[in-house]
């Protein structure tokens, strides 16, 4: 099992490095999520969590299927690992930054907006 994890993480590290260059160029490593957050009116952390939620939903649909149109269950799970790792890295960088500035309290968990009493915006496309 550990050998599998090592091979997988090595593969994901290479892929993530290439994608990072495509998505961010010379900007922040989280540039695309920062822009997404600004456009959607959410935090960078929440923007990454949305991507994680999308991959969890897709994994539920494609896992166990013999044929999918585009992205296999393995591809989806690999993306999920990368998004979770990116969120971990973002939170760790913020934690490290707060310690450097004399704030030794743990950062608060990411808070998602309460949507229990709301319906989707009227502009959301339905399939």
Higher-pLDDT residue of 102 and 51 is 51
Q: Which residue has the tokens 């310690």?
A: 99
Per-residue confidence (pLDDT) for residue 51, from 0 to 100: 95
Q: Is the alpha carbon torsion for 87, 84, 111, 123 positive or negative?
A: positive
Query: Domain residue spans in the chain?
Result: 2-100
Give residue 83's pLDDT.
95
Band of pLDDT at residue 96, cut at 50, 70 and 90: confident
- Pick the closest to residue 28 from 36, 20, 16, 39 (CA basis): 20
Query: What is the predicted pLDDT for the residue at 109?
Result: 53
pLDDT band at 47 (very low <50, low <70, confident <90, very high): very high
What is the predicted pLDDT for the residue at 28?
Answer: 84
pLDDT > 70: percent of the chain: 77
The 10 Å Cβ neighbour count of residue 75 is 14
CA distance 112 to 45: 9
Structure confidence at residue 88 (pLDDT): 95
Q: Is the pLDDT of residue 114 over 70?
A: no
Tell me the average pLDDT across 110-121.
56
What Å distances lie between residue 71 and 29, 59, 66, 93, 111, CA to CA? 24, 10, 12, 31, 30
Give the pLDDT of residue 66.
Answer: 77
């Amino acid at each position: 099992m550990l050998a599998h994890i090592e091979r997988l993480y090595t593969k994901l590290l290479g892929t993530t490095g290439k994608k990072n260059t495509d998505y961010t160029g010379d900007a922040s490593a989280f540039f695309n999520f920062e822009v997404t957050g600004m456009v959607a009116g959410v935090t960078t952390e929440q923007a990454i969590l949305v991507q994680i939620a999308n991959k969890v939903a897709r994994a539920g649909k494609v896992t166990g299927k013999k044929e999918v149109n585009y992205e296999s269950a393995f591809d989806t799970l690999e993306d999920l690992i990368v998004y979770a790792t990116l969120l971990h890295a973002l939170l760790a960088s913020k934690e490290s930054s707060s310690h450097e500035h004399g704030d030794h309290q743990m950062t608060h968990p990411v808070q998602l907006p309460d949507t229990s009493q709301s319906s989707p915006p009227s502009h959301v496309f339905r399939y």
